[in-house]
Amino acid sequence: MRNTHRDKIVVVGAGNVGEAIAYTLMVRVQANDIVLIDVNEDRAKGAAIDIAHGTSFHKQVWVRQGGYEECRDAQIIIITAGIARKPGQTRLELAKTNVSIVKSITENIMKYAENPLILVVSNPADITTMAVLETSGLPANRVIGSGTSLDTARLRYNLSARLHVNVEDIQAYIVGEHGDSQVAVFSSATVGGFPLEEYASQTGVVLDKEELAEHTKNGGAEIIGLKGATFYGVAMAVSTIVETIMKDDSAILPVAHRLDDSFGAWAGAVVSLPCRVGWEGVEAAFQIPMNEEEEKAMNHSVELLKEFWVQVKEQ
- Annotated binding residues for substrate, written as ranges, equal 85, 91, 123-126, 151-154, 230
List, in sequence order, every beta strand (DSSP E) within the chain: 8-12, 33-37, 62-65, 76-79, 118-120, 143-145, 170-175, 183-191, 194-195, 251-258, 270-278, 281-285
Distance from C-alpha of 91 to C-alpha of 86, rounded to nearest angstrom: 10
Integer Rg of the chain from CA: 19
Which of 20, 25, 14, 1 is CA-nearest to residue 234?
20
- Is 53 designated active site? no
Q: Which residues are annotated as a binding site for NAD(+)?
A: 13-18, 38, 43, 68, 98, 104, 121-123, 146
Distance from C-alpha of 5 to C-alpha of 232, rounded to nearest angstrom: 30
CB 25 within 8 A of CB 59: no
| Bridge partners for 204 per DSSP | none
Which of 72, 16, 92, 302 is CA-nearest to residue 176?
302
Choose the catalytic residue: 178, 215, 257, 300: 178
Distance from C-alpha of 204 to C-alpha of 4, rounded to nearest angstrom: 54
Distance from C-alpha of 23 to C-alpha of 57, rounded to nearest angstrom: 13
Residues known to be catalytic: 178
